[in-house]
A and B are shown apart, each in its own frame.
Chain A
């Protein structure tokens, strides 16, 4: 521990040695009662200067009339009698002082005192709370998280006015010292799940830098090479709050406008937040549509390839005639034809993603129409293939979670290759392997395919179907780890 010395200059030199290249570090020297030397140290663009002037410098210069050298603990005396800042503390060492100053705090050093005052004067520039561009909701709150962790915590606290709410802070990354927080509801979350989350976060503490939730997600998930997302990423505080009430933990990190929710089970990624605000039957219909769309993305093109190449007898002769006639003159074999279209679609989609929204949309629509039209006219792709591929593309947009949609989109390529190699058997085996992987995955000790496997009847009420809210507004049993649970 680096204790403060009585020599004020020594202390300043120590601070400067911690932040040698900081051109924004301000060292304002004043004389209290025209006698006692004092330094006010802060990082200029992270603090509220007016607040420092008004609540720290002004009282110290104008109001203090006592001889501080005669007072036993001058720092404590000043803090208690003259400083009108809402948050201040006495420190007697310089450990973590860099982190504190970079958090926007202001340090008051007093000559011949081994104590200093650390005041919260932070005014870190941040983006205002806006409506989400990624997670659009038809019904529900519009606000979404920003890069400032304090604002994000406030958004959650404002929605959970409960004495069970717990916020545990921690610092991640030895170099960037990012502020992070674990949020949960005490007594609601399973203690084993909570311990697992804490244990995993503590394990990654010593890494040099962690910049956003994506880093944390990959570092703490059970299956880093798994196809499916094992934690939920959301930028909507109301979604986080809903998850907290279900017995989950949220992880926030400064600089990331997202929250990570753990644990997460497979079916959740197909549930939209507005499902709970809609009529029961319509939300069931929408959920079924999403599951159907995921199956379409995964199976439509491989089965189409099987029909074209191997198992023609599966479809009626009239339909197969239409398909075959549309392929007359197409030089590419069915597999390459479908693969080319799938790759083209992925190129368009990835291209559109990075562009500004209006341009991205235009690229997606115009690119899709133009390339599709041109490819069919040039005789490279058959119209039926175009219909099948574009149906799968539209279907992939129905999956509400982007990470899950990405995983399922990716999986259709190995499925296509399996279909090409082994026909329908390949599709069967591919699908079967996906199920095997799903039922063997865990997310923080919770079976990933719950409540289907292991089956939990009561939790089935909020899966593909949705029961009335009074039947499902409770903690799912699947999120509880019992002794000997399988």
Chain B
């Protein structure tokens, strides 16, 4: 058995890992995608979108509560049998690979435009991904500690955009409700911003104290929703929804306007500090990839980390062209998100039925 399986995390670390797995590069562009349809009410859609993480974390809790806190692979085996458990594991592995590759590719795009113009994409992707492999190889306990510490230090970063309150214009967010139809139609787009919460299925069994674990999932979902909603609201409040929809990274654009006497471009400092968050989300995703791979192949976890590395690298290189990535994600993400949603609800229901039947 790989070392990571023996690792345990606290409830607090569970909350922070969930936050880490969702809040990443996507948050920098989330206001852009959400305002396309919801306009100035994008922040409302963003908040309603937290139904997705709430559902996923609650379903994960129900599944494990009903069938005992066994690991993800065994859970699927109990419900769907050996063959389908393998298929489901592969699906999740691919899903998280897509998430992590798109985050890494997005991170490369931001870095290459702002601070590492002189480096080849292959070099950036290689060194960043190797750092991630190294981080993930320490296992879940290490991720728990990392997520905990990075969250506290990075909380300050979420507060930086608050300076826009002074400069923004209230008319940018008025009328508060553009139209109910627009808000509802953009909710699916907000679901995609919360992608990554699926990690809940993989780490929940390793939480030491299962007491009130349901609320830990809710807490993390609400914290994520508040961060996303706050940033979307401040972006619209400061830039207006029209400008927000025209800038791909509106949050970065806001950072650029922060004036500090000794720093000419605060955006670079923000990226510098934000990198910690990106590396953390990548490490969380990479943990799931290696974990599932280890379960499927019975290769020890540490070795799995290194074996899966070229696979993730390949995906990332494929994802680097920004337009291609967006098209790919636009076409795949909805299917992934809905499949995960259906899987979670179905699994929760079946697990309940199994308990009722006394299996």
Contacts and interface: CB of A to CB of B under 8 A. Distances in A.
Interface of A: 310-311, 313-317, 319, 422-425, 427-429, 432-433, 435-436, 439-440, 447, 449, 452-455, 484, 486
A436 B276 CA distance: 11
B149 A429 contact: no
Interface stretch (B123-131, B293-301, B341-349): B123-131
Contact of B149 (A314, A317, A453, A484): A453
Complex A-B, nearest 8 residue pairs according to Cβ-Cβ distance, in ascending order: A453-B145, A453-B149, A439-B145, A316-B264, A424-B115, A428-B275, A425-B116, A313-B265
Interface stretch (B80-88, B133-141, B197-205): B133-141
Nearest to B271: A424
Contact of A315 (B118, B141, B208, B264): B264
A436 B262 contact: no
Nearest to B269: A314
15 contacts: A310-B116, A310-B118, A316-B264, A422-B116, A423-B116, A424-B268, A428-B272, A432-B131, A432-B279, A439-B142, A449-B149, A453-B145, A454-B145, A486-B10, A486-B208
Contacts of B152: 455
B9 A439 contact: no
A391 to B, nearest CB: 15
Interface of B: 7-10, 12-13, 111, 115-119, 123-124, 127-128, 131, 134-135, 138, 141-142, 144-146, 148-149, 152, 208, 261-265, 268-269, 272, 275-276, 279
Contacts of B134: 433, 436
Contacts, number: 102
A322 B263 CA distance: 15
- B interface SS class: helix
A449 B145 contact: yes
B269 to A, nearest CB: 7
A311 B146 CA distance: 28
Contacts of B276: 428, 432
Contact of B148 (A423, A432, A453): A453
Contacts of A440: 138, 142, 145
A486 B148 contact: no
Given A452-B149, A454-B148, A486-B10, A313 B264 contact: yes
Contact of B146 (A317, A423, A429, A435): A435
Given A427-B272, A432-B279, A449-B149, 15 more contacts: A310-B115, A311-B268, A314-B263, A315-B263, A316-B262, A425-B111, A425-B124, A429-B128, A432-B131, A432-B135, A432-B275, A452-B149, A486-B10, A486-B144, A486-B145
Contacts of B149: 435, 439, 449, 452-453, 455
Contacts of B265: 313-314
A319 B262 contact: yes
A440 B139 CA distance: 10
A168 to B, nearest CB: 32
B138 to A, nearest CB: 5
Given A313-B265, A454-B148, A425 B115 contact: yes
B66 to A, nearest CB: 24
A456 to B, nearest CB: 11
A470 to B, nearest CB: 26
Nearest to A303: B272
Nearest to B108: A425
B141 to A, nearest CB: 5
Contact of A447 (B8, B117, B145, B264): B145
